[in-house]
Chains A and B, each alone.
Chain A
Amino acid sequence: MPLKTIASLDVKRLEILDVNGNVDKALMPKVNDKTLLEMYRLMFQIRRFDERAILLQRSGRLGTYPMITGQEATQCVPPLALKPSDWVVPTYRGGGVYFARGMQMRYGLLYWAGDDRGTRFPDGSNDMIFSIPVGTHLTQVAGLAWGQKLKGKGAVAVTYCGDGTSSKGDLHEALTFAGQFKLPAIYIIENNGWAISVPRKRQSASQTLAQKAWGYGVEGIQVDGNDALAVYKATTDAVERARKGGGPTLIECETYRMSHHTTADDATRYRDSKEVEAWAKRDPISRFKLFLTARKLWDTKKEKALEAETKKWIDGEVKAYEEFPAPNPLDMFANNYETAPRALIEQRAELEELLKFKGGARVLMSLPPTEGRFP
């Protein structure tokens, strides 16, 4: 009997805006000028914020920090397709996502300064803290989406993982659940080319990461992750389908990590600068600016005003971050249980005793008031 083809892959790649700012009109999504300007503002401001955060780290005013530069379109645009009631779980390199969801960035700085008070997200918005052991959130997002399906109000769950994380079993199980239960989940693989020192081509023999979707009955697409319009179209299509009960989508956004893995890394040890230079020409922000300018939505005057506004905003966030009083060590005992067990009550008292031993009774008086629930 002859071999029959019983299934085949048809992996599509979406590109709308080229590096010169030209748009493929046939593919242009329905999007109003206000949203286009918002995309630009978010990408522009988070780039400047990233630059400042690196300066803060280099001058000893911040801990290890994961840079966002280059990935602004992939991070800032998908939230614009969402409502506050939708769930969002970015990766640890997700400052742009949180910013677009309305987070006050002083808290982002506080987190990377090693302060637990930094995990504060806006009230009324369903944002979750990222996972540091990468990919361990992916199955949870299937559960978040499942909850939305059961509630029947049309909300969706969106999450991110990197190209490296796509190698982990977590994504396999997450997509298995999402496909099997037809969940309103959108998985964005933020393929930035590098998992610390390991390039995408050494991560998996799979030709694309988007095609992994096919194995699980999930819709899949690859987009130019530096093309804000393509990212917007792919996300809005996926969200619309998910809201109507059409099930999950895997979106591979092909972008590039323009900087080191974190401030603790040195990418020059393992990466060719020519590759970085080539990607600089595909920058998501500069091509979007050309596009807005051609549409008469942007000019030098507006750019100057945005630059000034951004500096003022960042100065304000950095000041607010640096003005947080030192955390009270006793705070670490709060919020571990709804009601603290006896062991924690005893141990907290032991920590008080230690603080007195170290600095005398005055040390306790000088600490800021404790926060959070205890016992």
Chain B
Amino acid sequence: MRVKTAAPAKTRTLNLVQAVNEALDVAMDADKRVMILGEDVGRNGGVFRATEGLWKKYGEERVVDTPLAEIGIMGSAIGLAITGYKPVAEIQFDGFMPSVFDQVVCHLGRIRSRSRGKMSVPLVLRAPHGGLIHAPEHHSESPEAYFCHTPGIKVVIPSTPYDAKGLLLAAIESPDPVVFFEPKLLYRSAKGEVPAGHYTVEIGKARLVKEGKDLTILTWGAMTVACEKAAERLEKEDGVSIEILDLRTLAPLDLDAILASTGKTGRCVIAHEAPNSGSWAAELSALIAERNLLRLHAPVARVGGWDIRMPLFRLEQYYIPDADRVLMAARKTLNF
């Protein structure tokens, strides 16, 4: 479950967006084929400053301020990848991703198979993810399920600076396309030790946030933080022991870790930001029911956004689940 990496010589405290920036820097320095494409990623360094300094360091041929055209970004990144480059395309906000679906669904994950394995599309599609930063409409979405539903691509979402850097480097080196979500709530609030230089975190492995024996919480992205708060209260107030898995990779899922943990505790709450119906939590719940039914003591509970559009930010804290909602669901599951 835990990815073991050799103890690195030098670590510093970075926040998540700095870790993303450092991964891009390390990758561009090591491999001339790596390029960055996106809106405002060059001179401006990205609206969240994820590409800060790279335009100056690597030039406008490799850090490209594209025209404002998401299909253009996505389609040309696919073409560049086929010809041997390693594009890292940025879509500025999660809410601007639907326009790239045509390229993602009809091409991105299918080119390897349609070319009978002759071609591949080793690109990374980066986008900020999720809400709770008081952003305008269409700037706080959680569209991961649409991408996870699409065959042929990998979907990654780190929640710590260490994972952000290691997973992004793994994504850039991946032979297949990776959609890389970055929880924008954590860009500056998540801080942690990050090794200098190159290292990777394996795609497809969950992170054990904390070990426990009575209930498993499966989560990803910024919701990991709310789940940690809920677990702390449950352990203190209810005297129970909670295990938390931060999935980190949503596709392909770390089934070994998910089944081992839920098989051990027999109780599971899945917490995430997207509307619950048809969400990736639904897939997880189905998998656990299919594979672990006889080891469960309670139905698997899903805590997600309501099945309505994300409201404007004055009400976002009542839409995106918080620690209270995770805690309420956990109590129901524990008392089933």
Contact = CB atoms under 8 A, between A and B. Distances in A.
Given A269-B43, A270-B44, A332 B65 contact: no
Contacts of B95: 132-133
B306 A333 contact: yes
Interface in B60-75: 65, 67-72
29 contacts: A63-B134, A64-B134, A114-B134, A114-B314, A114-B315, A116-B314, A116-B315, A132-B137, A132-B138, A133-B96, A136-B99, A165-B68, A168-B69, A195-B39, A198-B65, A198-B68, A265-B47, A269-B44, A326-B314, A329-B315, A333-B306, A336-B309, A343-B307, A351-B306, A351-B318, A354-B324, A354-B325, A357-B324, A357-B328
Interface of B: 39-40, 42-45, 47, 65, 67-72, 95-96, 98-99, 134-139, 277, 306-309, 311-316, 318-319, 324-325, 328
A111 B43 contact: no
A37 interface: no
Given A195-B39, A198-B39, A270-B44, A116 B67 contact: no
Contact of A204 (B67, B311, B315): B67
B312 A197 contact: no
A363 B65 CA distance: 49
A169 interface: yes
Contact of B306 (A92, A132, A196, A344): A344
Interface in A149-173: 162, 164-165, 167-169
For the complex of A and B, 3 pairs with smallest distance between CB atoms? A114-B313, A164-B68, A197-B44
Contacts of A203: 67-68
B311 A116 contact: yes
Given A63-B134, A111-B312, A196-B44, 10 more contacts: A115-B312, A133-B95, A134-B68, A136-B99, A167-B72, A168-B71, A203-B67, A332-B319, A333-B306, A333-B308
Interface in A29-61: none
Contacts of B68: 134, 162, 164-165, 167-168, 195, 198, 203
A173 to B, nearest CB: 11
Contacts of A357: 324, 328
A133 B314 contact: no
Interface in A295-354: 326-327, 329, 331-333, 336, 343-344, 347, 351, 353-354
A114 B312 contact: yes
B138 A133 contact: yes
Contact of B67 (A115, A164, A264): A164
A353 to B, nearest CB: 8
Contacts of A358: 324
B328 A115 contact: no
A202 interface: yes
Contacts of B319: 332
Interface residues of A, number: 47
Interface centre among B39, B72, B99, B306 (most CB of A within 10 A): B306
Given A132-B138, A332-B306, A354-B328, A167 B67 contact: yes
A112 B138 CA distance: 13
Nearest to B99: A133
A63 B313 contact: yes
A162 B69 CA distance: 12
Given A332-B306, A351-B306, A113 B314 contact: yes
Interface centre among A133, A134, A355 (most CB of B within 10 A): A133
Contacts of A265: 47
A170 to B, nearest CB: 8
Contacts of B307: 343-344, 347
Interface of A: 63-64, 92, 111-116, 118, 132-134, 136, 162, 164-165, 167-169, 195-198, 202-204, 264-265, 269-270, 326-327, 329, 331-333, 336, 343-344, 347, 351, 353-355, 357-358
A333 B307 CA distance: 9
A332 B305 CA distance: 12
Contacts of B308: 332-333, 336, 344
A168 B311 CA distance: 27
Interface centre among B67, B313, B316 (most CB of A within 10 A): B67
Contacts of B70: 168
A115 B314 contact: yes
Contact of B40 (A167, A197, A347): A197
A29 B65 CA distance: 41
A179 B155 CA distance: 41
A324 to B, nearest CB: 10
A347 B99 CA distance: 30
Contacts of A196: 39-40, 44, 47
Nearest to B328: A357
Contacts of B45: 269
A285 to B, nearest CB: 27
B328 to A, nearest CB: 6
B96 to A, nearest CB: 5
A196 B42 CA distance: 12
A180 to B, nearest CB: 21
Contacts of A64: 134-136
B113 to A, nearest CB: 26
A163 to B, nearest CB: 9
A291 B328 CA distance: 67
Given A136-B99, A196-B39, A332 B277 contact: no
Nearest to B329: A350
Nearest to B96: A133
Nearest to B75: A169
Nearest to A167: B67
A195 B41 CA distance: 12
Nearest to B319: A332
A269 B71 CA distance: 27
A332 B47 CA distance: 29
A331 B306 CA distance: 13
A169 B69 contact: yes
Nearest to B277: A343
Nearest to A328: B315
Contacts of A167: 67-69, 72
Nearest to A92: B136
Nearest to B43: A270
Contacts of B98: 133
B211 to A, nearest CB: 28
A333 B95 CA distance: 21
B305 to A, nearest CB: 10
